[in-house]
Amino acid sequence: MIDDEFFETQTQGSPLRPDGKPCRVAFIVKAMNLYQILDETLVDLYLKSARSEDIESTLTRILEINGNLQAWNKSLPGHLQLQHAAEDDEVLQRQAIVLRVR
């Protein structure tokens, strides 16, 4: 990931910017990953549930979704985890809060 202000100076993606601060674009990437999980959830549990499915397959899918959410949460970089949010950087702190609330 490369923050747009470093396009000319940073040639390869990295979780850190050249100035040593966390990449702010990571928020967008992780938010999109979360939206993919939520989209699958809505389709699987609400659209497909309109059809008759047995309870076992529904519960299995719920456990899979829960696993996906846990994996997503574990994949968050430290600066986007609420308990590690940078108190000295309001933008990064706000990003961590927004991801947690969503």
- The domain segmentation of the chain, as residue ranges, is 4-101
- Taking only the tens of pLDDT, the chain with its 102 residues reads 555 555 445 455 555 555 666 667 788 889 999 999 999 999 888 876 556 667 888 888 899 999 999 999 999 988 787 776 566 777 777 777 787 886
| HSE toward the beta carbon, residue 19, CA cutoff 13 A | 7
pLDDT at 70: 96
pLDDT at 54: 79
pLDDT at 20: 60
- The values of phi and psi at residue 70, to 5°, are -65, -40
CA–CA dist 66, 21 (Å, integer): 31
This prediction's pTM: 0.71
